[in-house]
């Protein structure tokens, strides 16, 4: 999986997950021009990323446009970097199954 962390998740999370999720990136690190959700969505689709976000807007865009990109929607509210890291790492198997399923475009993590 190539996770693309949305701006509402700290770039510092990358260091904690990159061993398990190689090619992880943060929106700010890939382009300063990616400021709007639609731009991020299109960038992720064109570059093989899975969007990781707290933002419901990506779900709405995907509902209208379909996927790719796939979206991992973190539904536990804005949290510490440690909590985000732990949630992603503890659900590695679920995330791997989600990514392998060509019929699924959205994974909600609570």
Spatial CB neighbours of 43, under 8 Å, sequence gap ≥ 6: 4, 30, 31, 34, 49
Low-confidence ranges of the chain (pLDDT < 70): none
Domain containing residue 48: 3-109
The CA–CA distances, whole Å, from 102 to 56, 98, 105 equal: 22, 8, 8
Dist. CA 67–CA 78, nearest whole Å? 25
pLDDT in tens, 55-77: 999 999 999 999 999 999 999 98
Q: State the pLDDT at residue 35.
A: 82
Q: How many domains does the chain have?
A: 1
Please report the pLDDT score of residue 89 as a whole number: 97
Cross-strand partners of 71: 51, 106
Q: What's residue 105's pLDDT?
A: 97
Indicate the pTM of the whole model: 0.94
* pLDDT reported for residue 75: 96
pLDDT, position 14: 96
């Amino acid at each position: 999986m190539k996770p693309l962390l949305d701006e509402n998740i700290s770039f510092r999370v990358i260091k904690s997950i990159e061993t398990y999720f190689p090619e992880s990136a943060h929106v700010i690190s890939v382009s300063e021009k990616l400021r709007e959700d639609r731009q991020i969505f299109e960038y992720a689709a064109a570059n093989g990323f899975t969007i990781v976000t707290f933002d419901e807007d990506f779900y709405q865009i995907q509902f209208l446009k379909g996927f790719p990109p796939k979206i991992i929607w973190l539904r536990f509210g804005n949290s510490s970097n440690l909590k985000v890291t732990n949630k992603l790492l503890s659900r590695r198997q679920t995330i791997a199954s989600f990514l392998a399923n060509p019929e699924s475009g959205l994974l909600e993590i609570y």
